[in-house]
Amino acid sequence: MPVSADDILTFDEADVMPSVLKFTEEDFEPAWAETRSLLPATREAKIEEGINGLFSFTTDNFPLLGESPDVKGFWVAEAVWVTHSAGVGRAMAEWLVDGHCSSFDLHECDVNRFEPHQLAPEYVLARDCRNFVEVYDILHPLQPSGDPRPLRTSPFHVRQQEHGAFFLEANGWERPHWYEANASLLEGRSIPTPNDWAARYWSPVVGAEAQATRETVALYDMTALKRLEVSGPGAAAFLERMVTGRVAKSVGSVTYTLLLDHDGGIRSDITVARLGRDLFQVGANGNLDLDWLRRHLPADGSVQARDITPGTCCIGLWGPLARKVLQPLTDEDFSNDGLKYFRAKRAHIGSVPVTAMRLSYVGELGWELYTTADLGLKLWDTLWAAARPLGGVIAGRGAFNSLRLEKGYRSFGTDMTYEHDPYEAGVGFAVRPDKDDFIGKAALERRKGNVRRRLTCLTIDDPHAVVLGKEPVYDAGRAVGYVTSAAYGYTIGKGIAYAWLPAELTSPGTPVRIGYFDRLIEAVVAEEPLFDPTMSRLRG
Ligand code: THG
């Protein structure tokens, strides 16, 4: 019986408490009848006193914590269940007193995390009602949340449907996980089948798409990647103060760098592209990155930050044949010297103006190609017409995830969070301790020599023993850490699991076990990255 937050009674109106409504016998009757049939002992019982208690549900089952974006100094701690209340109390106390919470990662609870569509009353009602039904179910980690869908569609959506895309949802976006039309790629390949649970929301086509990316070239829909624009005469100095790296470099530079909190914990890993003297494009992880930047904007109005994700789109064109596909479509020079690794420039691809950035989360030669949404389909069709005759493919997120784990690229929110610092997480290379002050610098200097746990690469020999993330890791029967992300590596021919482990267990060759349902899976610490450690693929 959903009750909208606006309709909750005040103390004055309520008989007992605002969260307790009147017991209505007719609503309880069906459940009571089932109870009596299941538990004979209750058949003689009667209800002496009934209450109708409110539960608070949110669209993602996490509470709403933090400072209002509109009213400075107005703090929220709502939708907190009794089971979480003590932890939330501690977290809020730390946050209010210290300005950040060092005990727990709160990014999933932050009241500012939502995308605009997630605040629509219809969306809230539909998702919350479903969450009420599923709250105690065992859900597969990839199980999509159902209606309302589809919500956000990239300009490529119609083509993706034509290719038999199996869609999952990412931040409201429909994103292909694999394409049924690629089933023909399976010929001549043997893709190992995972165990039953891991084989849900999976197809052997995922493996074929991953291998094909490394063999030829693939188009990936990267539209769901959060894009922010930071601009204005103060933009360069502002960003320098916010990030761990140097980003006020030449126009055309792209930098992989980190946002830290004041305690040195990782708030996000981002890419910063300088597209003009006073214009930067930030590849981010979510709405909280925009919120964090906005909270720190100089008061004089010399910098603006806005979300440009809606209204734009992105295709990742990656693989050894990427240059053969792209160069004939443009007058701009896309040779190795014409656009170096981690450089950006504007170009026309056929009739479509793009911003091209030479980087790749899948670890292959190629570019992220950004354009406005209206021209997205034209860009897709132009690239596809050029890629197809060369044996190119379109590929989905399943392949993407496997390839990025082979390359050892971390994913914020899964592999690393506010609870971890860059040295522990293996992204210390993105910190420039010699640069001027930035948020988190002092705290990080204190933490640097004190790495007691590490994000560690494990491999699994048994090809059927694919794990999914969040499983415990055991050393000699003792739980010592947990898996963050995992996938089968279709190039290296082994299972991959990244895990947080005590530093003393992180030397390559160390055997550990991963708890998976009632089993223990043998795994071993591996040297990373597992694929192309010399970067010959990316820099060639
Ligand atoms: N593309 C863009 N922005 C992004 C992502 C992206 N922002 C969010 C998220 N993804 C950031 N994650 C990464 C992770 C790794 C890399 C890029 C973005 C990467 N790393 C090189 C490496 O470690 O070898 C960087 C080397 C260097 O610093 O020169 O490419 O997918 N636009």
DSSP 6-26: GGPPPTTT-SS-TTEEPP-HH
| Tokens representing residue 343 in the block | 């450089």
Sort strands 218-221 and 393-394 into parallel, antiparallel or unpaired: parallel
The whole domain housing 109 covers 64-133
Probe target for ligand 1 pocket from 227, 253, 256, 407, with the most ligand atoms within 8 Å of CB:
256
Q: How far apart are the CA of 518 and the centre of ligand 1, in A?
A: 36
Any atom of ligand 1 within 6 Å of the Cβ of 123 = no
In a domain, 115, yes or no: yes
Sort strands 453-460 and 494-502 into parallel, antiparallel or unpaired: antiparallel
Give the residue, by CA position, lying nearest to ligand 1 atom 14: 409
CA distance 299 to 293: 12
Q: Which of 89, 62, 66, 84 is closest to 76 using CA atoms?
A: 66
CA distance 532 to 212: 16
What is the chain's Cα-based Rg?
25
DSSP-assigned letters across all residues of 515-526 = EETTEEEEEEE-
Q: Contact at 8 Å (CB) between 369 and 151?
A: no
Q: How far apart are the CA of 283 and the centre of ligand 1, in A?
A: 9
Looking at the structure, tell me whether residues 128 and 72 fall in a common domain: yes
pLDDT of residue 255: 98
CA distance 441 to 489: 36
Any atom of ligand 1 within 6 Å of the Cβ of 523 = no
Last residue in a domain, options 76, 110, 133: 133
Query: For residue 499, is it left (φ>0), alpha (ψ between -120 and 50) or beta?
Result: beta
Measured from the Cβ of residue 507, the count of other Cβ atoms closer than 10 Å reads 10
Any atom of ligand 1 within 6 Å of the Cβ of 361 = yes
CA distance 69 to 109: 14
In a domain, 344, yes or no: no
* ∠ CA 417-414-481, rounded to 5°: 85
Q: How far apart are the CA of 27 and the centre of ligand 1, in A?
A: 53
Last residue in a domain, options 133, 153, 170: 133
For residue 333, which phi and psi values (nearest 5 degrees)?
-85, 110
In a domain, 123, yes or no: yes
The SS3 call for residue 175 is strand
CA distance 382 to 38: 63
Looking at the structure, tell me whether residues 69 and 16 fall in a common domain: no
For residue 459, which phi and psi values (nearest 5 degrees)?
-120, 155
Any atom of ligand 1 within 6 Å of the Cβ of 225 = yes
Q: Contact at 8 Å (CB) between 528 and 508?
A: no
For residue 185, which phi and psi values (nearest 5 degrees)?
-65, -15
DSSP-assigned letters across all residues of 324-362 = HHHGGG-SS--STTTS-TTBEEEEEETTEEEEEE---TT
Q: How many helices (H) and strands (E) does the chain have?
A: 13, 23
Q: Contact at 8 Å (CB) between 303 and 345?
A: no
CA distance 485 to 68: 32
Looking at the structure, tell me whether residues 17 and 43 fall in a common domain: yes
CA distance 95 to 77: 11
Q: How far apart are the CA of 193 and the centre of ligand 1, in A?
A: 30
Looking at the structure, tell me whether residues 42 and 75 fall in a common domain: no
Q: Specify the length of the chain in residues.
A: 540
In a domain, 390, yes or no: no
In a domain, 438, yes or no: no
Give the residue, by CA position, lying nearest to ligand 1 atom 3: 283
Count of domains in the chain? 2
Q: How far apart are the CA of 65 and the centre of ligand 1, in A?
A: 29
Any atom of ligand 1 within 6 Å of the Cβ of 110 = no
pLDDT of residue 28: 93
pLDDT of residue 4: 83
Looking at the structure, tell me whether residues 69 and 113 fall in a common domain: yes
pLDDT of residue 82: 86
Q: How far apart are the CA of 254 and the centre of ligand 1, in A?
A: 10
In a domain, 74, yes or no: yes
Give the residue, by CA position, lying nearest to ligand 1 atom 25: 256
Q: How far apart are the CA of 243 and the centre of ligand 1, in A?
A: 14
Nearest-atom number in ligand 1 for the CA of 342 is 29
Question: Rounded to whole angstroms, what are the CA distances from 478 to 94, 506, 517?
Answer: 31, 16, 16
Give the residue, by CA position, lying nearest to ligand 1 atom 11: 270
Q: How far apart are the CA of 528 and the centre of ligand 1, in A?
A: 16
* CB neighbour list of residue 327: distance below 8 Å, 6 or more residues apart: 334, 335
CA distance 518 to 510: 23
In a domain, 96, yes or no: yes
Regions in the chain scoring below 50 on pLDDT: none
Any atom of ligand 1 within 6 Å of the Cβ of 270 = yes
Looking at the structure, tell me whether residues 68 and 98 fall in a common domain: yes
Query: For residue 403, is it left (φ>0), alpha (ψ between -120 and 50) or beta?
Result: alpha
For residue 247, which phi and psi values (nearest 5 degrees)?
-120, -10
In a domain, 103, yes or no: yes
Looking at the structure, tell me whether residues 42 and 78 fall in a common domain: no
Looking at the structure, tell me whether residues 40 and 95 fall in a common domain: no
pLDDT of residue 54: 85
Any atom of ligand 1 within 6 Å of the Cβ of 271 = yes
Give the residue, by CA position, lying nearest to ligand 1 atom 4: 283
Any atom of ligand 1 within 6 Å of the Cβ of 235 = no
Strands (E), 102-152: none
Burial bucket for residue 79 (CB in 10 Å: 0-12, 13-18, 19+) = buried
Q: Contact at 8 Å (CB) between 456 and 501?
A: yes
Q: Give me the residues paired with residue 457 across strands.
A: 498
pLDDT of residue 13: 65
pLDDT of residue 334: 98
Nearest-atom number in ligand 1 for the CA of 256 is 28
Probe target for ligand 1 pocket from 409, 532, 535, 537, with the most ligand atoms within 8 Å of CB:
409
Last residue in a domain, options 133, 161, 189: 133
pLDDT of residue 414: 97
Cα 138 to chain center, whole Å? 21
Q: Long-range contacts for 91-100 (Cβ within 8 Å, ≥24 apart)? A: 91/65, 92/65, 95/65, 95/66, 98/262, 98/263, 99/262, 100/261, 100/262, 100/263, 100/265, 100/418
